[in-house]
Amino acid sequence: MRRRIKQSISFSQRLADEAVKFRKAAAELPPGTARELLMKRVRQAEAALQINDWLATPGAAPPSALEQLTAKTTREIP
């Protein structure tokens, strides 16, 4: 049987906390690959937060970055 875990903190708050945690860790590192990987994780968490907010809003238009991505993808497909 699968164990269920009831989250006490919302998904949005966990994403925001993760972005803050990674940003602080990146600030402590010198410029380089490790720092860039942490900053990539920050951008991913912030993008996930924006997508989650967009999906939670009924009738909202997609973010402009998503529109650009889909327009680019549809142009490449013959």
Per-residue pLDDT reduced to its tens digit, 6-51: 889 999 999 999 999 999 999 999 999 999 999 999 999 998 998 8
Split at pLDDT 50, 70, 90, the class of 56 is: confident
Asked whether residue 77 carries a pLDDT value surpassing 60, the answer given is no
The pTM assigned to this predicted structure is 0.69
- Measured CA to CA, the distance from residue 56 to residue 40 in angstroms comes to 24
* pLDDT on residue 71: 65
Per-domain boundaries in the chain: 11-76
Q: What is the dihedral of CA 56, 60, 62, 65, to 10 degrees?
A: -90
Lookup: tokens for 55: 């999906």
